[in-house]
Amino acid sequence: MYTRIGLFLVVLVQLCSAPAMAQEADALRKELEELRKQFGAMKDAYEKSINTLSERIQAIESRAQPSAVAPAVAAPAASAPPEQAVSQAPAGGQPSLMELARPREPFSLYQRRGAGQLLFDMGITGDFIGNLTQDNVQKASGGTFSGRENRFFPREIELNLFGQIDPYARAEVRIEAGEEERGQEITVKLAEATISLMTLPFGTQAKLGQMRNRFGLTNVIHEHDLPFIDRPNVLVKFLGEEGLVEKGAEFTWVPPLPFFLELLGGVFNGDNETAFGLGSIKYPLVTGRARTFFDFEEWGAIQLGMSVANGLTSERLRNTILGADAKYKYKPDGWQQAFLTVAGEALYQMRRVNVSGEDVDGDGVPDTPDEKRNRNRFGWWAYGELRPFRFGPLSLWSAGFRYDWTEYPQNPGHEWAAQPYLSFAPSEFLRFRLGYKHTERSLRDGINLNGGSARSVDELLFQATFILGAHPAHPF
């Protein structure tokens, strides 16, 4: 009797627990399936990260210095500025002439890129300027941005395309748009288009095409990457608002020395109308630059440079500009940005000009003959920027100050300017600046008076800059 009752209870418990066990099994299956999905997503994410890092390593290795370079440069290479590290030649030794001549498929460089991804990098940068000044300065077109006083305007909207052509060459194309005059439509133009050959004989490199010449400290930097709102006055007076943008070739050599030294020479048309303007490769603009770099580890790093540009003006007269520059950065351990940056540049011009004869007696006929004279002119600028906070919201802010002094390149007189500014960068892809600039001129050189005056100028400047997509590494 009791046996039958026990058997009955066992069967009853099993029948009652069967649905619960089935539900528990279903729940476990769902949990297992969810874990599998999570694991798959994590696997895909890790694979994507690994592929991205592999591509970056391959890109860096493809630009590494050839092993044919003497081991003596191995030590300073570690302390070389980032700009140099980016432009190094591929690893694995310098290729032979047959290897350089052999056709190569660029697709092999990007085997790990996914479907639909481009074979080059692309990015867009935007730089907007706001300017507020006196009405008389606007009438005279004598502000920092001549013809755009008391306006908010796009100074530079840039499309950047850059990447490896093959293991031994890379290319860059920059298309630029911006407002150049009040009331005019936005102009679109080719800013740069270059081919860089990174493994030429004897450890040299070459850059061909239309480019911002690497003369001086900041000429190579585009407006949105400048460490301040506007270009220094001496560069605008000596080289024009656009700077030295030329068509030609630059050649670079880093000799095997126990310290870093970069030597650069360039040959260009000389199209720059402000400083040269003949525009003929038969009588070219020739440039040169020497740059060195020292890393003091916990005490920061310094870059020193000297530059020269020599060419003919549109009057077929010689113009030579010499430059010297220095830049120091101090970044304590653990800081992502520099705590202190100090830099400066000086230019000296030696220019021949035609001077018309003078009408002494006022009869309308020159009483002295035309003659050629020398115009030796000097100018300089210096700035400092401080980012005093390492963590928190205040670490997004930095303050700077720039001072300019320059003589006019052809006419008598000089001007000086002082500019404090404040920067706010919530990320490395977005930045805002607010600055005040005061300029004093001894004479009104090159200014359209138009019923106004611009000898003493006060300006409130605003800048907003963004980077969308890929962007090349910034120089030191």
Contact at 8 Å (CB) between 199 and 66?
A: yes
Residue 408 φ/ψ, nearest 5 degrees: -80, 140
Show the tokens assigned to 24: 């528990």
- Res. 323: pLDDT tops 60: yes
- pLDDT-derived band at 368 (thresholds 50, 70, 90) equals low
Predicted confidence at residue 80, as pLDDT, reads 42
Cα separations (Å) of 95 from 71, 249, 264, 267? 18, 22, 22, 26
Residue 238 φ/ψ, nearest 5 degrees: -80, -35
Predicted confidence at residue 423, as pLDDT, reads 97
- pLDDT-derived band at 407 (thresholds 50, 70, 90) equals very high
Predicted confidence at residue 40, as pLDDT, reads 66
CATH code for residues 76-109+118-469: 2.40.160.10
Task: Specify the range with the lowest mean pLDDT, choosing from 48-57, 73-82, 175-184, 430-439.
Answer: 73-82
What average pLDDT does the segment 409-422 reach?
94
- pLDDT-derived band at 371 (thresholds 50, 70, 90) equals confident
Tell me which of 12 and 324 has the higher pLDDT: 324
Predicted confidence at residue 108, as pLDDT, reads 45
What average pLDDT does the segment 25-45 reach?
67
Residues 36, 230: Cα–Cα separation, whole Å: 55
Q: Which is nearest to 419 in space by CA: 397, 404, 398?
A: 404
Show the tokens assigned to 14: 């099993």
Tell me which of 392 and 41 has the higher pLDDT: 392
What are the DSSP E strand ranges found in 301-396? Answer: 301-312, 318-330, 340-355, 371-386
Cα separations (Å) of 73 from 33, 261, 262? 56, 10, 12
Count of CA atoms in the C-beta half-sphere (13 A) of 310: 6
Contact at 8 Å (CB) between 399 and 385?
A: yes
Contact at 8 Å (CB) between 198 and 90?
A: yes
**N-term to C-term CA, the chain:** 95
Q: Which is nearest to 90 in space by CA: 194, 203, 249?
A: 203
Instruction: Please list, in sequence order, all residues whose beta carbon lies within 8 angstroms of the beta carbon of residue 135, skipping any fewer than 6 positions away.
Output: 150, 452
Show the tokens assigned to 438: 């005061």
Tens-place pLDDT, residues 201-225: 888 999 999 999 999 999 999 999 9
Q: Which is nearest to 421 in space by CA: 236, 144, 208?
A: 144
- Res. 437: pLDDT tops 90: yes
Tens-place pLDDT, residues 438-450: 999 987 666 666 6
Residue 159 φ/ψ, nearest 5 degrees: -105, 120
Instruction: Please list, in sequence order, all residues whose beta carbon lies within 8 angstroms of the beta carbon of residue 39, skipping any fewer than 6 positions away.
Output: none
Over pLDDT 90: what percentage of the chain? 57
Tens-place pLDDT, residues 250-290: 999 999 999 999 999 999 999 999 999 999 999 999 999 99
Residues 179, 239: Cα–Cα separation, whole Å: 20
- For the chain, the residue count is 476
What are the DSSP E strand ranges found in 33-120? Answer: none
- Res. 73: pLDDT tops 70: no
Residue 434's Cα: distance from chain center in Å?
Answer: 20
Give the amino acid at 357.
G
Mean pLDDT score of the chain: 82
- Res. 398: pLDDT tops 90: yes
Residues 185, 162: Cα–Cα separation, whole Å: 28
Predicted confidence at residue 15, as pLDDT, reads 47
Tens-place pLDDT, residues 285-318: 999 999 999 999 889 999 999 999 999 999 999 9
Task: Specify the pairing of strand 340-355 against strand 187-200.
Answer: unpaired
pTM of the model: 0.75
DSSP category for residue 277: B
Return left, alpha or beta for 415; rule: phi > 0 is left, psi -120 to 50 is alpha, else beta. beta
Tens-place pLDDT, residues 80-112: 444 443 344 444 455 565 555 555 444 444 445
Residue 418 φ/ψ, nearest 5 degrees: -125, 135
Tell me which of 154 and 73 has the higher pLDDT: 154
What average pLDDT does the segment 339-345 reach?
97
Tell me which of 421 and 114 has the higher pLDDT: 421
Show the tokens assigned to 187: 């102009």
Predicted confidence at residue 83, as pLDDT, reads 44
- Res. 72: pLDDT tops 90: no
